[in-house]
Structure 1
Amino acid sequence: MIVSSRPGGLALALTVFGAAAVGYGLVTTHSGSRPLWVVVVAFGSLALWVARSVLAHYGLARSALVCILLSTVLGAITAAPTDGLTVVPAAVGVLAVLGDIAVPLWGGFALGALALLLTAVSAVPVGTPVPALLSMLGGILLGAFGGLSRRQFRRAEEREALLREQEAAMREEASRVALARDLHDVLAHSLGGLVMQLDAVDALLEAGDTAAARSRVIDARGLAADGLADARRAVAALRAPASPGPAETVAADDIERTLRDLVSAHRSLGGAIEFTVEGQGRVLTADVAAALQRALQEALSNARKHAPGAPVDARLSWQTDRVRLVVSNPLTAPHPELAASGGGHGLDGMRERFGALPHGATVTASAEAGRFTVTAEALL
């Protein structure tokens, strides 16, 4: 339900001043020639006009609506007998009702039509001249146009507020998805690596090779520490997003170094991989560089899950207008524990990350000729 806007203190003061001015006119102009009922009804219209503003100021919308309806009707009935003085509360009432988005539009039109009719009827017994009557009707019509203008303005405000709420919800959802994506990438890499390291430790301990087992435990501890640091960085980036400004860039050497570190980490986990770089490196934005890093990280995590021990082929290709990363591995028997931990979220997150890049990017995954291949491509 839409709540009517409350008039502020200034609006309330102006209403009281306007009602007092009209009341002063009633007392000082032709007061002796007017019937008593006209004076009583006219002052009743003014009192209801003020009462409506007071009630609306304190949030009593229903009572305020009743007051303004009665004020409009009484003002229209006495408009002609008071020489047009009470057309003011009548016109204000039409303006207020038509401008209130909590009231149906047809209700405002109905009140305006009733005010016009009552004003015209009240002019017959007192013989109001046509020009004077037209002036009164014009005042009510002006109130109607003012109310329609106010309604449109409030509708626009309402739409803007709704858009702001939707944008805030979308930003919150995007932050949630980004956090889930980053944490998935970090945990899939670090926890998956830990499982493989612990498997190796178990096998080495069974073989009695405690020195090698201890080395594996040290590597596992380093992997866990790196994963924890990555998770903290991901959360910190979302809690304090970077302020708008020029996009950060990453040199080609730094990008290749980061990818080679991931390749080295894969080898330390017992994986075999051939990594090649083709073409002349280019400076990339930080978003594109991070997307490439996460793509290789996720592809290698998938290889360890679904093709443990199988040789992986990774190729970074620098082209004139794009950069492409292709990671391929044979389809073999999956790791008994790690394979069940996936749910397709890694590839979905990779597609989301590349899809958010400003210049366009694509991610494809295919299983053909006994190999599983992930291709990530970003335009420069």
Structure 2
Amino acid sequence: MNTSTPPSWLGFVLSAIGGAAIGFALFKDDWSTRPTWVLVLAVISVSAWILRGLAGALGWRSLDLGLSVVAALAGGLVAAPTNGLAVVPAAIAVMVVVSRVDRSVLLGFGLALITIVLIAVGAVPFGSEVPAVLAMIGGVVLAVFAGLSRRQFRQSELQAVLLRERELAMREETARAELLGQRQAVARDIHDVLAHSLGGLVIQLDAVEALLEAGDADAARQRVTDARRLAADGLGEARRAVAALRDPAPAATGADPAGPGPAHPADGRTAESEPIAPAAFAATLDDLLAAHRSLGGVVDLTVTGRPSPLDPASASAVQRALQEALSNVRKHAPGEPVRAALDWTDGRVRLTVSNPLGDGAHPELAGSGGRHGLEGMRERFAALPHGGAATAGVVGDRFTVVAEAPLSDTSRARTSITEVTP
């Protein structure tokens, strides 16, 4: 950032007018009793003053300091013999150097001190009166204070600019973070569509093929009906994910853009911000379990504690965790029985899903996820408004998924561990 004074043609014009006025007064004065070098130095001081203004207007900032020093030193030395005329460019040069925020203020103080000494030294040979010399020195001192005032003003301006730039950078960073969060949320939903719906279709079509080979047309027809329903549910999820790309506002609230239910938009909610009732939440979990059983899986769910309403983001996270765990079983341990437990206690709800490791993965589905589902599950719980956590890994001879979400303050007060529902 450029911290120096911006080029100003107005400043140059004013310097030129002031220099012309002082030059006219110098040449109009009687020089018969004073040496020529006094006039020469006075002209050099005035010329340096004008040239400094021109250099500033043209943007030649490297010449500013040198011309200011020449104007101050030459003007200070001949200030007394010119009856104080040369002190004007000297004082202005001192003020300019002091006011520059891109240089140390000590440089301006040093130039002012040298100028004051030169004024006193230059007054000795000509017998100038002490009050006149003190007045010239006072002019330089006033220039120092004026320079400090301008310096403070410019520093305030600079700080304001830096503050605006910092605020703009923070807003841009926040916008990028929000956009990244929205993209990750949509990516999680697209993965869920592929893993749950398309993965289920693969299993259903495998079953249809096997049933047709066995000559069981009725069972094959039922499988086709189930596959059609699964495809319709997946299409609804895909539409919600596309809608989230067009209008990502729901993602900014922390809720899943595709809604809390993986395949059921009518899940008991009346508004996006209203809590999910325990009955509606349990119905969605039952639908996931039924879908897994319809694909040939075996799963049991045990619920302990007293269910409480959940905010949409937490409900969606728990439901998606169960969905991902069941999808992983169908991919990596097909046919293995699944044990799921939902524990409502201590102001939180914890989902635990485990299954034996199995003898082999599904040949077509095993490599389809790329571990994006587990990563998305962790991200979804980490982004919950009140915090959350999800882990997945091998424990003994079982693969276990544990996901935990805290209850809201109102739900936490109603939670109890005295009720056990098998």
Normalising by the smaller structure, the TM-score range is: 0.7 to 0.9
Matched, 1:328 2:324: no
In 1, the alpha carbon distance for the partners of 2:339 and 2:390 equals 17
**SS of 2:29's equivalent?**
helix
* Correspondence for 1:349: 376
* Correspondence for 2:246: 236
Matched, 1:121 2:147: no
Offset of residue 368 of structure 1: 2.1
Show CA shifts across 1:144-186 (max 9, x none).
Answer: 5743663475257436625642552354145325423542343
CA RMSD, Structure 1 to Structure 2 (Å): 3.8
Which deviates more from structure 2 when the two are superposed, residues 267-276 or residues 152-161?
152-161
Native 8 Å contact 2:191 2:372 kept in 1:
no
**SS of 1:312's equivalent?**
strand
Offset of residue 322 of structure 1: 1.7
Matched, 1:248 2:244: no
Tell me the amino acid that sits aligned with residue 391 of structure 2: T
* Correspondence for 2:344: 318
Native 8 Å contact 1:330 1:372 kept in 2:
yes
Tell me the amino acid that sits aligned with residue 75 of structure 1: A
5+ residue gaps in structure 1?
A: 57-62
Query: Which residue of 60, 63, 75 maps to 2:71?
Result: 75
In 1, the alpha carbon distance for the partners of 2:174 and 2:228 equals 43
Say if 1:205 and 1:339 are closer, same or farther in 2 by CA, change over 3 A.
closer
The 5-angstrom pairing of residues 51-62 of structure 1 reads 51-56=54-59
In 1, the alpha carbon distance for the partners of 2:173 and 2:285 equals 35
In 2, the alpha carbon distance for the partners of 1:263 and 1:153 equals 64
Tell me the amino acid that sits aligned with residue 162 of structure 2: E
**SS of 2:336's equivalent?**
coil
Native 8 Å contact 1:351 1:363 kept in 2:
yes
In 1, the alpha carbon distance for the partners of 2:172 and 2:398 equals 43
In 2, the alpha carbon distance for the partners of 1:378 and 1:204 equals 39
Offset of residue 78 of structure 1: 4.2
**SS of 1:328's equivalent?**
strand
Instruction: Please give the TM-score of this superposition, normalised by the length of structure 2.
Output: 0.70
* Correspondence for 1:364: 391
* Correspondence for 1:48: 51
Query: Which residue of 184, 193, 213 maps to 1:180?
Result: 184
In 2, the alpha carbon distance for the partners of 1:29 and 1:45 equals 17
Which deviates more from structure 2 when the two are superposed, residues 258-267 or residues 22-31?
22-31
In 2, the alpha carbon distance for the partners of 1:187 and 1:331 equals 23
Offset of residue 76 of structure 1: 0.9
In 1, the alpha carbon distance for the partners of 2:203 and 2:273 equals 40
Tell me the amino acid that sits aligned with residue 286 of structure 2: R
Native 8 Å contact 1:194 1:223 kept in 2:
no
Which deviates more from structure 2 when the two are superposed, residues 221-230 or residues 141-150?
141-150
Offset of residue 225 of structure 1: 0.7
Show CA shifts across 1:128-158 (max 9, x none).
Answer: 7246325414523652574366347525743
Offset of residue 262 of structure 1: 3.1
Instruction: Please give the TM-score of this superposition, normalised by the length of structure 1.
Output: 0.77
Larger radius of gyration: 2
Offset of residue 201 of structure 1: 1.5
**SS of 1:341's equivalent?**
coil
Matched, 1:154 2:158: yes
**SS of 1:327's equivalent?**
strand
The 5-angstrom pairing of residues 16-27 of structure 1 reads 19=15, 22-23=18-19, 26=22
* Correspondence for 2:199: 195
In 2, the alpha carbon distance for the partners of 1:214 and 1:360 equals 41
Show CA shifts across 1:295-345 (max 9, x none).
Answer: 223222222222222232333333352222222222213223322233433
* Correspondence for 1:99: 101
Say if 1:325 and 1:86 are closer, same or farther in 2 by CA, change over 3 A.
same
* Correspondence for 2:364: 337
